[in-house]
Amino acid sequence: MTISSALNASVAGLGANATRLAAISDNIANSSTFGYRRVETDFQSLVISGNGGSYTAGGVRASTQRLIDESGGLVSTSNATDLAVRGRGFLPVALASEVAAGNGTPQMLLTTTGSFRPDANGILRTESGLVLMGIPADPDGTVPAFPRDSNGGLQPVQINTTQLIGVPTTEMSLGVNLPATETVAGASGDPFNLSIEYFDNLGISENVGVTFTPTVPGVGSSNEWTMTLTDSASGGAVIGEYTLTFDNSQPTGGSLLSVATVSGGAYNPATGSVIVNVSGGPMEVSIGEIGASNGLTQLSDSFAPLSISKNGSPVGNMVSAEVDANGFVHAIFDTGVTQVIFQVPLVDLPNPNGMLSLDQQTYIPTPESGTFFLWDAGDGPTGEVAAFAREQSTTDVAGELTDMIQTQRAYSSNAKVIQTVSEMLQETTNIIR
């Protein structure tokens, strides 16, 4: 009966608009929730074929979808481990309860933002119990290869604030000018000495002694020096000796002309360095390339250590941690040294909207979302990791209020149709009477 179909269609309209109002209320309630993705309601008409010339109302059906692929704006914070994704991709997290249980690999959840802070064990987690997951780096700060299509390599990101670190010295550069007047006949022949501090494998301070002894000829000028390297950690033993000859022609006067090895590692003209063995292992000492002025030179009448540099550092305490745009977690020590301790990959899927939504703005991949892949942040289709930032809700309150007014009018109109049908049925009953 046509009038009955009108009643059913209006009842369906009430239910569909009630669903839309529920979605609107959820969106407005979470307008200040970091990382919240709004829910969108769509209506689909139901068509029932009529018989003859009559028309039968089919009504309407409502469906909802969470728009996970939408992104909210970023707001800055003062916490270095407040993280958000700038662009495409998701941060891998896990429930703190599952991590604490230690029953194998915890379920990987995905989120786009979080305020992570170290707990009593140094594990980065949110107040709601989400633990940030990543790939631990090797002791030298390099991140090993890990499975990209599985969460098996992910571990809780842990910051050990009681950690001590000492970086051994493996490279040293000598920028020293030797006085040309000391290699002429009649010069004193006195050596010139340098003592350069370095740090061994245990962070202990040692010294490489460098002695430059001029070759004084009977007549004229030799432009030749003997460079001797000694190691305090080995009791002052000689670890390298080299004969240096300097050029006195135009336009390369004062630069190295040749380097002859007496003992120690051979001089490499391509790199301008020699490799000597200190107590803890090999050390590369750069003295400059042939014909260049960026290392040892012989000019004028003064001995001048112009530029002495080295890597390594003494033992230092970890004071903080920061995450860069590529997802690398850097431990920062009070000696100024930084070292990578974790990498946080970004997870991407073909259809983010197909994921299952859970509490705390987290999602789980499903067959509808497609197979996930762990990318390096800033690589492939993924965006970057933003530190000192949180992602705002995607709710537009003004738009939601507009939709709420429309929903209220539509609901009232459907209720009016039901009232009209009721009155028509009452008239029909009165005719029978």
Instruction: Clarify whether residues 229 and 307 are in a common domain.
Output: yes
Which three-class secondary structure state does DSSP give residue 310?
strand
Domain boundary among 311, 331, 358: 311
Q: Give domain status of residue 229, yes or no.
A: yes
Q: Which two tokens stand for residue 4?
A: 């009955």
Instruction: Clarify whether residues 379 and 405 are in a common domain.
Output: no
Instruction: Clarify whether residues 285 and 227 are in a common domain.
Output: yes
Where is 333: in which H helix or E strand? strand 328-333
Contact 414, 3 (CB under 8 A): no
Share of the chain above pLDDT 90, in %: 80
Which three-class secondary structure state does DSSP give residue 301?
coil
Q: Give domain status of residue 329, yes or no.
A: no
Instruction: Clarify whether residues 253 and 240 are in a common domain.
Output: yes
Instruction: Clarify whether residues 130 and 19 are in a common domain.
Output: no
- b/e per residue, 144-175, with b = 16+ CB within 10 A? eebeeeebebbbbbbbeeeeebbbbbbebbbb
Q: Give domain status of residue 322, yes or no.
A: no
Domain boundary among 291, 311, 331: 311
Please list the residues that pair with 285 across neighbouring strands.
Answer: 172, 274
Contact 299, 176 (CB under 8 A): no
Burial of 113 (0-12, 13-18, 19+ CB in 10 A): buried
Q: Give domain status of residue 89, yes or no.
A: yes
Instruction: Clarify whether residues 38 and 139 are in a common domain.
Output: no
CATH of residue 270:
2.60.98.20
Give 233 or 55, the one with higher predicted confidence. 233
Instruction: Clarify whether residues 287 and 173 are in a common domain.
Output: yes
Q: Which two tokens stand for residue 408?
A: 């209220």
Instruction: Clarify whether residues 127 and 248 are in a common domain.
Output: no
Q: Does the pLDDT of residue 317 top 90, yes or no? A: no
Q: Give domain status of residue 319, yes or no.
A: no
Report pLDDT for 52.
Answer: 64
- b/e per residue, 244-262, with b = 16+ CB within 10 A? bbbbeeeeeebbbbebeee
- Please compute the mean of the pLDDT values over residues 324-334 and round it to a whole number: 94
- Among 47-56, 184-193, 265-274, 365-374, which is the least confidently predicted range? 47-56
Instruction: Clarify whether residues 173 and 139 are in a common domain.
Output: no
Q: Which two tokens stand for residue 369?
A: 């979302």
Q: Scanning the structure block, which residue is given the tokens 């571990």? A: 155
Q: Give domain status of residue 320, yes or no.
A: no
pLDDT tens-digit map of 124-136: 999 999 999 999 9
Q: Give 329's DSSP letter.
A: E
Report pLDDT for 167.
Answer: 87
Task: Please count the structural domains in the chain.
Answer: 3
Contact 112, 90 (CB under 8 A): yes
With cut-offs at 50, 70 and 90, classify the pLDDT of residue 1.
low
Peptide bond into 251 cis (omega under 30): yes
With cut-offs at 50, 70 and 90, classify the pLDDT of residue 102.
confident
Instruction: Clarify whether residues 221 and 300 are in a common domain.
Output: yes
Average pLDDT over the chain, rounded to whole? Answer: 93
- Name 350's Cβ contacts closer than 8 Å, sequence gap at least 6: 369, 370, 371
C-alpha to C-alpha distance for 1 and 55, rounded to whole angstroms: 9
In terms of residue numbers, what domain contains 87? 79-156+345-390
Instruction: Clarify whether residues 179 and 301 are in a common domain.
Output: yes
Q: Give domain status of residue 263, yes or no.
A: yes
- b/e per residue, 277-314, with b = 16+ CB within 10 A? ebbbeebbbbbbbbeeeebbbbbeeeeeeeeeebbbbe
Instruction: Clarify whether residues 263 and 142 are in a common domain.
Output: no
Strands 346-348 and 362-364: unpaired
Q: Give domain status of residue 331, yes or no.
A: no
